[in-house]
Structure 1
Amino acid sequence: MQEQAELDVLKLVAGAKKQEYTALLRKHMAEYGMQDIADVGRLAQELADGDPFIAAALIPIVQEFARQTARDVRDFGRGLEYER
C-alpha cells in the first residue's frame, strides 16, 4: 500500500512538471510568435511600399500567418501524455 502511495505521488509530481514545462514552452512560443508576426507585418509593409494593390494582396497572408501562429501556440502540448 505504501508503494502504491509513493507511486501515486511520483505520478503527480511528474504530471505537475510536465504541465510546468509545457506552460514554459508555450510562453516562449507565444513571445517568439508575436515577434515573428510583427516581423512579417513589417516585411509586408516594406514590400507594399505604399502600393494599395500590393498591400491588399499581402494583408490576408499576414492575417493567416498570425492566426496560424496563435493556433500553434494554443494547441501546443495537447495530446501529449506522460505515462510509464
Structure 2
Amino acid sequence: MVVYSTVHGQSSRVYSCSECGKQYRTRTGLWAHAATHASSSAFCAECDTHFNSQLGLKYHLKHHSKHNERRFAISKYLV
C-alpha cells in the first residue's frame, strides 16, 4: 500500500491506493480516498442522493439544515 519514490535526489513518501493505484502525499489523503472504495454507501433520506461515504452524507445533511433555517427565517418576517 505504501510506495516510496525518489524525486530529484530527495526521498519523498507516496501513499498508493491498492485498489486503483491513485497516489497521495499524505496517509490521511489515502484514507479519505479509500473510503470511496468501501462497499457501504449512504443515502439522504430527504432527497435520495447517493454518497460513497458517511462523511459525504454528513456534509450534505448540513446543507439541508441550513436551507431549512433560511426558509424559517424568511417566513418569520413574512407573517
TM-score (norm 1): 0.33
Identify the structure with the greater helix proportion: 1
Higher relative contact order (CA 8 A, sep 6+): 1
Which structure has the larger Rg over C-alpha atoms? 1
TM-score (norm 2): 0.35
